[in-house]
Amino acid sequence: MSDIFREVEEEVRRERFEKLWKKYGDHVIAAAALIVIGAAGVQLYRYYEQRQENKASIAYTAAAQLLDSGQPAAAESQFAGLARSAPHGYAQVARLAEADAMFGAGNRGAAVNLYEQIAAGSDAYLGAVARLHAAWAIVDSAPKSEVEMLLAPLTDPTSPWHGLTQEVFAYENLRSGNAAEALKAYQQIASDPNAPSSLHTRASAMVRFLSAGGDANYGTVPPSRPAQVPVSPASPATRTAPGAPPSR
């Protein structure tokens, strides 16, 4: 008896399944197709992104080589193109490199303006780098207060950028003739265990330089005397023969 009930139950289930399939089968097939197409689309998009990133990487390297070889104007043009068309990450870095190329080409005002635009953007890392680059671009000509205002967001002692900002201030003190404050700042940087190794090396070198009196003014080098040109004896062809009248 139980077998009969089981067969009836299975038949009912089969009929229900057939009714559901007739009603919703097309939707199930369409959904499955969309899943397959979607997965293929994701793979294609990733492949496209990878190709675009590879192209941007090659173009960026070529532009950087132009800058390194002393062609900042050409590099600026290349970086500007990347900033407009490259994937987002490369575009952001290219903007910073474009500003560096502007500065290298002598367009300091335009470079500082672009640095400040990047600093005001949403990328905190690039913004910090842009602030430091802008500070070095203006430190030889701008008032100290302007440099300090530019670097203010990075001066917190817990900031990873703190040591690099102090290097700018140390240089500014040295440039303005305050060697004692400059030496003190370089000593603090050199003794900071959290300072990057390259920064530590530069600061230590400046400490040795200033401690040895490297900033002292020893006067000017006297001009060299004009070279004494020896007078050679007249050649036989120009000598006057004995008894001959002098040549006219």
Give the pLDDT score at 184.
95
Query: Is 143 in contact with 175 (CB distance < 8 Å)?
Result: no
In a domain, 219, yes or no: no
Q: Are residues 192 and 116 in the same domain?
A: no
Q: Are residues 154 and 187 in the same domain?
A: yes
Of 98 and 47, the structure prediction assigns the larger pLDDT to: 98
Average pLDDT over residues 189-199: 91
Average pLDDT over residues 142-157: 93
DSSP 242: T
pTM of the model: 0.68
Q: Distance of CA 184 to CAs 44, 152, 174, 195, Å?
A: 58, 20, 11, 16
Q: Report how far apart the first and last C-alpha atoms of the chain are (Å, whole number).
A: 154
In a domain, 239, yes or no: no
**Percent of the chain clearing pLDDT 70 (strictly above):** 67
Give the pLDDT score at 148.
93
Q: Are residues 111 and 161 in the same domain?
A: no
Number of C-beta neighbours around residue 171 at 10 A: 19
Which residues, other chains included, contact 204 with Cβ-Cβ below 8 Å and sequence gap of 6+?
190
pLDDT higher than threshold 60 for residue 248: no
In a 13 Å sphere around the CA of 64, the CA atoms on its Cβ side amount to 12
Last residue of a domain, one of 138, 157, 173: 138
Of 217 and 110, the structure prediction assigns the larger pLDDT to: 110
Each residue's pLDDT tens digit, 113-146: 999 999 999 899 999 999 999 999 999 999 999 9
Of 7 and 168, the structure prediction assigns the larger pLDDT to: 168
Q: Are residues 59 and 129 in the same domain?
A: yes
SS3 assignment, position 75 = helix
In a domain, 235, yes or no: no
Closest CA to 110 of 100, 120, 122: 100
Give the pLDDT score at 8.
47
In a domain, 229, yes or no: no
Give the pLDDT score at 54.
85
Query: Is 77 in contact with 69 (CB distance < 8 Å)?
Result: no
Query: At 85, which CATH number?
Result: 1.25.40.10
In a domain, 231, yes or no: no
Of 240 and 32, the structure prediction assigns the larger pLDDT to: 32
pLDDT higher than threshold 80 for residue 234: no
Q: Are residues 122 and 149 in the same domain?
A: no
Q: Are residues 103 and 163 in the same domain?
A: no
pLDDT higher than threshold 60 for residue 225: no
Domain that holds residue 61: 1-138
In a domain, 236, yes or no: no
117-121, 191-195, 214-218: range with lowest mean pLDDT: 214-218
Q: How far is CA 109 from the centre of its chain?
A: 18
Give the pLDDT score at 152.
95
Of 73 and 26, the structure prediction assigns the larger pLDDT to: 73
Give the pLDDT score at 59.
87
Return mean pLDDT, the chain. Answer: 80
Q: Are residues 100 and 192 in the same domain?
A: no
